Amino acid sequence: MGHCNFEFIPKWLFSLFPPLKFLMYTPSFHSLHHTQFRTNYCLFMPLYDYIYGTMDKSSDTLYEISLKKKEKVPHVVHLTHLTPLDSIYHLRLGLSYLASSPHTSKWYMWLMWPLTLLSTMLTWIYGRTFVVERNQFNMLTLQTWVIPKYSVQYFLRSHENSINDLIEQAILEAEKKGVKVLSLGLLNQGEELNGYGGVYVKRNPQLKIKVVDGSSLAAAIVLNSIPKGTTQVLLRGKITKVACAIAVDLCKQGIQVATLQQDEYMKISKSLEICSENMGDELTEEEQLKVPKGTLFIPYSQFPPKKFRKDCLYHSTPAMLIPTSLENVHSCENWLPRRVMSAWRIAGIVHALEGWNEHECGYTMSNMEKVWQASLQYGFQPLMFSNGSKY
């Protein structure tokens, strides 16, 4: 706590109980030990510094100044939500052991089920966004905000109105703070929930903050993951603008795109004979068992498919390796490996770095090649994999 470089202990605490200043140190109190060296030795009980005359005379003044200092305004905010119920432990604020590796279900998490339910209730009662990560990259200040709601598979669908209200509140709060770009991340759930994020811009046409859903970069990553020489691709999954963009680009390359229904270009395929190169999204076990050996599954949504085949390859959800200069990234982003970032999050960063002055949400998309090249230029790298789980 003493090394966090941020004063968060409120003044009213010492006003209610004045003797506490002799029994409890603050980050500003301890910071003087590192700058003045010969003062404020006591790590836990300043009482001894008062007794032996080693208390720095500027301790109280620095404490007052630190409380008045405004928090640094982020340039980019990545807005996301919790996924399974136990994902709260995977946040950086949770258990560092879990947060430092991709999110998976652990058997011992069942032992913590009462605590998990309690944390679920607390997040529901709290009912507002909270910051879980702060980063620096290329002179940009980045933050990740979490909405205390869970994924589509759990609660989002039954609370669409409250979810949209929370997202809109977060966007307006970020706008008020002076944030330049907000990326929607997992909250870009499609046209049913929020019109690919376009509903917030439509409701607030005077927004200065730019809302980015990351669809262009997600589609570009998928397209650049398809092996050269591919002649046929089966698209399977929810009808999204990412899937549409992928299909259009593949057709321009002369690659055959297969779906279940010809009259609806991007309908989900459930019973079609599957080719040897396959982009899979939400594939069932039965569908995966039908594919030939060596099939490549490339998801185009934020959620990875369940792996039922050991003789097939599973690519990551759209994501890239981050540059080493992106600071303070200590936890994993959901099921992605450490220092791998989702396309939706990267898109917001690139949008701010390039200074693009338009929204990328709703039914609009940026130029995929432009976004892809810009990402590479700033040091983000494509994922290379040798099998279904190693990169």
pLDDT of the residue at 96: 78
pLDDT at residue 261 in the model: 57
Bridge partners (DSSP) listed for residue 181: 76, 210
12-46 pLDDT tens trace: 888 888 899 899 989 899 999 988 888 999 878 89
Q: Helices 215-223 and 368-377 meet at what angle, rounded to 10?
A: 80
pLDDT of residue 179: 94
CA 354/CA 209 separation, integer angstroms: 15
Which residue positions in the chain have pLDDT lower than 50? 152-158, 266-278, 386-391
* Backbone φ, ψ for residue 143 (5° rounding): -135, 150
The pTM of this model reads 0.76
The pLDDT, as a whole number, for residue 294 is 82
Strand order, beta sheet including 232-236: 256-258, 232-236, 277-280, 296-297, 313-314
Amino acid at residue number 314 = Y
Q: What is the per-residue pLDDT across 247-272, written as a single tens digit (0 to 9) for each?
A: 878 888 888 887 765 555 544 333 33
Per-residue tokens: 217: 């970069």
In sequence order, the 6+-apart residues with CB closer than 8 A to the CB of 77 are 142, 143, 144, 145, 170, 174, 179, 181, 182, 183, 348
How do 256-258 and 210-212 pair as beta strands?
unpaired
- Residue 347's nearest CA partner among 227, 225, 211, 255 is 211
Note the pLDDT of residue 280. Answer: 53
Residues 6+ apart with CB under 8 A from 214: 183, 184, 185, 188, 342, 343, 344, 345, 346, 347, 348, 360
| Euclidean distance between CA atoms 343 and 317, whole angstroms | 9
Count other C-beta atoms under 10 Å from residue 387's C-beta. Answer: 10
Which pLDDT belongs to residue 251? 81
Three-class SS state of 378:
coil
Burial of 363 (C-beta count, 10 Å sphere; 0-12/13-18/19+): exposed
CA of residue 275 relative to chain centroid, distance: 33
CA 178 to chain centre: 20
Burial class (CB in 10 A: 0-12, 13-18, 19+), 76: buried
Task: Count other C-beta atoms under 10 Å from residue 65's C-beta.
Answer: 12
Neighbours of 180 (CB within 10 A): 20
Contact 176, 182 (CB under 8 A): no
Pick from 154, 134, 137: nearest CA to 93:
134
pLDDT in tens, 123-166: 777 777 888 888 999 899 999 998 877 764 444 444 556 778 88
- Separation CA 347–CA 213 (nearest Å): 8
**Which H or E element spans position 132?**
strand 130-137
Q: What is the C-alpha separation between 194 and 185, in angstroms, rounded?
A: 13
Closest C-alpha among 150, 154, 133 to residue 76 = 133
State residue 147's pLDDT score. Answer: 84
Q: Tokens representing 42?
A: 């006591």
Long-range CB pairs of 319-322, under 8 A, 24+ apart, other chains included: 319/221, 319/343, 319/346, 319/383, 320/221, 320/346, 320/375, 320/380, 320/381, 320/382, 320/383, 321/380, 321/381, 321/382, 321/383, 322/346, 322/379, 322/380
Which pLDDT does position 123 carry in this prediction?
74
